A and B are shown apart, each in its own frame.
Chain A
Amino acid sequence: MTKELVFGKVQEIFRDIFDDDKLVIQDSTNSSDIDDWDSLNHINLVVAIENELGIKFDLGELSSLKDVASMIELILIKLNN
């Protein structure tokens, strides 16, 4: 799966979780940029990504998911392994 395709899927997940059809994410987007990106919605994001892309994150990896770029990077590593 290409980075662009993964980015598109993650974009849709963000729009769904934050209930905002016009939300546009960038590589640098992090929890400071989205008001509702709190600890509960972080769980919702990670679970939705796991379910949509058929991957599982490990406990040690969660702290590295600080922004969209790190999410995409980790997702691509998992999909290509």
Chain B
Amino acid sequence: MQEYLIKDIKVGLKHSFEVNITELQMQYFLEISGDINPMHLDSSYAKSKGMKDKIVFGMLISSFYSTLVGVYIPGKYALLHSIDISFVKPVFIGDKLVVEGVVSSVHELFHQIEVNATIRNYKNEKISRAKIKIGVLND
């Protein structure tokens, strides 16, 4: 886990990590959220609506922004303020994703940073983007 303090963080600081999307993650998310929409559970239904297969929960995908913030940028001293998320393309079970964040602004007075984040699939297609505001606590 990274342990950046506000004084250590500069515009352009970047981190990334990879995740694999599994059926088990889908089952856990279903149990936690109670989202029983068939687009996420029923392949036949999803295909009837033009999808390749049932699609992964968008909020499951966005949970990796939590990891980006809490583990990488800034890591230990993070306090999440806000996230503005867009979902650009669907994600399917078995997809390998790359989550990346780049610091776009640092406000030392408020101990707040802004991170532009993206998630891409194995084809390097952007499947989600987010603007994240994060407070940075003192050690």
Contact status A59-B81, CB under 8 Å: no
Which of under 10, 10 to 19, 20 to 34, or 35 or more describes the interface residues of A? Answer: 10 to 19
Interface status of B2 (Cβ within 8 A of chain A): no
Contact status B82-A57, CB under 8 Å: no
Chain B residues whose C-beta falls within 8 Å of the C-beta of A58 in the assembled complex: 109
CA distance A57 to B82 in the complex (A): 22
Interface hit among A28-36, A40-48, A69-77: A40-48
Chain A residues whose C-beta falls within 8 Å of the C-beta of B107 in the assembled complex: 43, 47
Q: Is the interface of A mostly helix, strand, loop or mixed?
A: helix
CA distance A44 to B107 in the complex (A): 11
CA distance A47 to B109 in the complex (A): 10
B interface size (C-beta, 8 A): 7
Within 8 A of A (CB), among B89-111: 107, 109-110
Query: B114-139: contact bitstring with A at CB < 8 Å (1 yes, 0 no)?
Result: 00000000000000000001000000
- Write the residues of chain A forming the contact surface with B, with a CB cutoff of 8 angstroms: 40, 43-44, 46-47, 56-59, 62
17 contacts between A and B (CB under 8 A): A40-B81, A40-B82, A40-B133, A43-B81, A43-B107, A43-B110, A43-B112, A44-B133, A46-B110, A47-B107, A47-B110, A47-B112, A56-B109, A57-B109, A58-B109, A59-B109, A62-B109
Known contacts A40-B133, A46-B110, A47-B112; can you find 12 more A-B pairs with CB under 8 A? A40-B81, A40-B82, A43-B110, A43-B112, A44-B133, A47-B107, A47-B110, A56-B109, A57-B109, A58-B109, A59-B109, A62-B109
